[in-house]
Amino acid sequence: MSKILIVEDDRALSDVLAYNLRQAGYEVDSAEDGRKGLTQAQLNLPDVVVLDLMLPGMDGLEVCRRLRSHPSTREILVLMLTARTEEADQLTGFSAGADDYVTKPYSMRLLLERIRALERRARPPAAAADVLSLCGVTVDRRRHQASVAGRAMCLTRSEFRLLETLLRQPGRVLSRNDLIHAVMGEDTIVLERTIDVHIRAIRRKLGDAAYVIETVRGVGYRFREPSLGGPVSTAETGSGGLQGTSRRGADPPSEQVPPP
């Protein structure tokens, strides 16, 4: 039985959500402010945290960042639940480490399906190879560990799945929709720019090896083929005249996402 922690300061909403989750077979705990929610997550290690953004004591973004910063809570799935509907708010949530984002008002059936989708994404495909390594980047699916040049990388679950997906198909250009479906599931609806946020975070953690993830303008991303060597200094032209990557795989200016 999966454990879910609800961190929501609206007691009535929290009670309704807890009731429906229990009816669906989940073990449920709840907290009414950010600090208590963080403490309960650290002590009980739930499988999923349903996290409101606006909380007393500590807001949901900070709770999410702290969960992601500690090894014992890094793998907990986080679904942000908030009345904020602006694109910038959603991108900020994903940048903080959220796995999914649901806006209020919402249907209970939708929320339950989003939680189930998160759980499916957390289960790795059975037939995939356990260890992948290219250009000094290594992903160990069974241990859920990644490293670059022998240095361990601290990745969120979504970042790990995204890096693994690109690494499995070096040289192949994957659109943002391809990556959303591969990493988050076909039944998940998120902004395409969410992928840009995750790519930016992965590149930052890759450090000097950031060039291995290339931006193909107007299309998506690809993992650089080993035969192409190190970072490029000028834009390449892909098949069909599409613009390729800029130096060190940086996003083109039109795709920049404002920082939180």
Strand positions, DSSP E, 113-247: 131-134, 137-140, 145-148, 151-153, 174-175, 213-216, 220-223
Is it the case that residue 104 has pLDDT exceeding 50? Answer: yes
Predicted pLDDT of residue 166? 93
> pLDDT tens digits, residue range 132-167?
888 899 999 888 889 999 899 999 888 998 999 999
Choose which CATH entry (1.10.10.10, 1.10.150.20, 3.40.50.300, 3.30.565.10) describes domain 131-255.
1.10.10.10
Q: Give the DSSP H/E element, type plus range, for residue 26.
A: none
* CB hemisphere CA count around 149 (13 angstroms): 7
Predicted pLDDT of residue 189? 59
Residue 6's SS3 state is: strand
Is it the case that residue 14 has pLDDT exceeding 80? Answer: yes
> pLDDT tens digits, residue range 158-180?
899 899 999 988 888 888 888 88
Predicted pLDDT of residue 123? 66
Amino acid identity at 46: P
What mean pLDDT is reported for the chain? 81
Residue 147's SS3 state is: strand
The structure tokens 């690494």 sit at 167
- Distance (Å, whole) CA 203 – CA 30: 35
Kindly state the DSSP code that residue 143 receives in the 8-state scheme: T
> pLDDT tens digits, residue range 44-74?
999 999 999 999 999 999 999 999 888 788 8
> pLDDT tens digits, residue range 220-256?
999 987 765 555 433 333 333 333 333 334 444 334 4
The structure tokens 């649901």 sit at 102
Which class in CATH covers the domain with range 3-122? Answer: alpha beta
Q: Where do the domains of the chain lie?
A: 3-122, 131-255
Predicted pLDDT of residue 256? 42
Predicted pLDDT of residue 192? 72
Do 3-122 and 131-255 fold alike per CATH?
no
